[in-house]
């Protein structure tokens, strides 16, 4: 199932209406931190993985 531009815009509008425009930067910051932590853990896991 692929989402087109129109569907993504509808989802974005709903999120803005539900959360309010002041909460969007907080969510963005939270997701950015989560993504960075996830990537760091992946790097650590690859570094700790023994070579076969």
Over residues 5-39, the pLDDT tens digits come to 999 899 988 988 888 888 888 888 999 999 999 99
Q: C-alpha 6: how far from its chain's center?
A: 20
pLDDT value of position 39: 93
Cβ atoms < 10 Å from Cβ of 30: 10
- Whether the per-residue pLDDT at 3 is higher than 90: the answer is no
Residues composing the chain:
52
pLDDT value of position 5: 92
Query: Apex CA 11: angle with CA 6 and CA 17, to 5°?
Result: 125
């Amino acid at each position: 199932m692929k989402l087109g531009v129109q569907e993504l815009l509808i989802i974005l509008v709903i999120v803005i209406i539900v959360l309010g425009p002041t909460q969007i930067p907080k969510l963005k910051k939270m997701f950015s931190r989560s993504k960075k932590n996830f990537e760091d853990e992946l790097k650590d896991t690859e570094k700790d993985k023994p070579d076969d």
